[in-house]
C-alpha cells in the first residue's frame, strides 16, 4: 500500500507542478547599417548636349563664308547666312533643354555654351559692321562685354562656375532676333525694327554684364578648389 501511495503521490505531484524549462538563448540581433545611397555616375563630357554646342561653334566659319561671298549684299547669300545663323541659334536653345532634361549638365557645357554664343554673335556683329549694316559702336560695346565676361568666367573657374542666367538668355535671344532681321535683305520698317531690337539688346548686354561682375566677385571671395 505504501508503494501505491508513493506512486500516486508521485503522479499527482508531476501533474500539478509545472515543469521549469531552460530559457532558450536568443540570437544576438545587430541592426543592419543603413543602406548608403550610391553616388551618381559622372556625366560624360561627350554627350548630345555638348555635341550640339560644338556644332554651333563649327557653323560660325560657314556663316562668315556665306555672309561675305559676293558683294556681301547678294540676296541669296544673305538668306543663306541668315539661315545658318538661325540654325546655330536654335541649337543654343536645344542643347540647354536636352542637358537639363536628361541630366547632361557638365562644367564643360556651362563654359562652352556661352563661348559658342559669343563666337556666333561676335562673328555676326563684326560681319554686319564690316558691311556697313550696323554701327561699329554697337559691335564694340557688345563684343567688349562678351569677351570681358568670358575672361571673368575663366578667372574664377577654380572657385566655381558662373552659369548663364535668365537675363543672359534673354539678352542672347534679343541679340539673335535683331541680328537675324539685319541679316535678311529687308528694308523700310523691318530694317528699322531690327535696329530697335539691337538697341534693346545693347541695354540688356550692359545690365546682365554688371550682374555677372557681381557674381564673379562673390565667387572670388571663396577659397580656390584644389586642382
139 inside domain: yes
Q: Give the pLDDT confidence of 132-188 residue by residue, as tens digits.
A: 999 999 999 999 998 888 788 777 777 777 766 788 789 888 999 999 999 999 888
In a domain, 23, yes or no: no
Its pTM stands at: 0.71
Per the structure block, which three cell numbers stand in for 185? 535683305
Q: Which of 209, 182, 174 is nearest to 126 (CA)?
A: 182
Q: Let me know if residue 14 belongs to a domain.
A: no
CATH classification of the domain holding 64: 1.20.120.1760
Going by C-alpha positions, the residue among 14, 38, 128, 144 that lies closest to residue 82 is 128
Domain that includes residue 202, residue range: 48-220
CA angle at 64 for the pair 62 and 66, rounded to the nearest 5°: 70
| Res. 10 pLDDT band, cuts 50 70 90 | very low
Cell numbers found for residue 80: 543663306
Task: Give the residue from 67, 50, 186 showing the smallest Cα distance to 120.
Answer: 67
Residue 2 has pLDDT above 50, yes or no: no
pLDDT at 212: 83
The CA-based angle 128-134-196, given to 5 degrees, is 125
Of residues 192 and 98, more confidence is placed in: 192
Number of domains in the chain: 1
In a domain, residue 208? The reply is: yes
Q: Which residue has the higher pLDDT, 38 or 114?
A: 114
User: Between these two residues, 17 and 133, which has the higher pLDDT value?
Assistant: 133
Q: What average pLDDT is seen over the chain? A: 81
- 114 domain-assigned: yes
**DSSP for residue 158:** T
In a domain, 190, yes or no: yes
Residue 31 confidence (pLDDT) above 60: no
Cα 62 from Cα 86, distance rounded (Å): 13
State the residue for C-alpha cell 531552460: 22
pLDDT single digits (tens) 109-137: 877 887 888 899 999 999 999 999 999 99
With cell 548663364, the residue in question is 164
User: pLDDT value at position 102?
Assistant: 79
Look at residue 9 and tell me if it is in a domain.
Answer: no
What does the block give as the cell for 188? 523700310
d(CA 80, CA 176): 16
Contact at 8 Å (CB) between 197 and 180? no
pLDDT at 224: 64
CA 155 to mean position of chain CA atoms: 19
Amino acid at each position: 500500500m505504501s508503494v501505491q501511495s508513493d506512486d500516486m503521490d508521485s503522479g499527482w505531484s508531476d501533474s500539478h507542478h509545472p515543469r521549469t524549462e531552460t530559457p532558450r538563448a536568443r540570437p544576438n540581433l545587430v541592426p543592419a547599417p543603413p543602406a548608403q545611397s550610391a553616388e551618381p555616375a559622372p556625366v560624360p563630357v561627350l554627350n548630345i548636349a555638348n555635341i550640339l554646342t560644338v556644332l554651333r561653334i563649327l557653323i560660325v566659319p560657314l556663316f562668315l563664308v556665306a555672309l561675305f561671298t559676293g558683294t556681301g549684299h547678294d540676296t541669296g547669300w544673305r538668306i543663306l547666312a541668315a539661315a545658318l545663323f538661325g540654325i546655330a541659334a536654335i541649337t543654343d536653345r536645344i542643347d540647354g533643354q536636352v542637358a537639363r532634361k536628361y541630366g547632361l549638365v557638365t562644367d564643360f557645357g556651362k563654359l562652352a555654351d556661352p563661348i559658342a554664343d559669343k563666337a556666333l554673335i561676335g562673328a555676326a556683329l563684326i560681319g554686319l559692321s564690316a558691311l556697313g549694316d550696323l554701327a561699329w559702336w554697337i559691335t564694340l560695346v557688345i563684343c567688349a562685354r562678351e569677351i570681358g565676361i568670358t575672361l571673368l568666367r575663366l578667372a574664377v573657374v577654380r572657385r566655381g562656375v558662373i552659369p548663364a542666367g535668365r537675363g543672359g538668355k534673354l539678352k542672347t535671344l534679343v541679340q539673335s532676333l535683331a541680328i537675324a532681321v539685319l541679316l535678311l535683305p529687308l528694308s523700310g520698317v523691318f530694317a528699322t525694327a531690327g535696329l530697335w531690337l539691337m538697341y534693346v539688346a545693347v541695354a540688356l548686354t550692359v545690365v546682365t554684364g554688371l550682374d555677372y561682375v557681381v557674381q564673379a566677385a562673390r565667387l572670388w571671395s571663396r577659397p580656390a578648389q584644389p586642382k
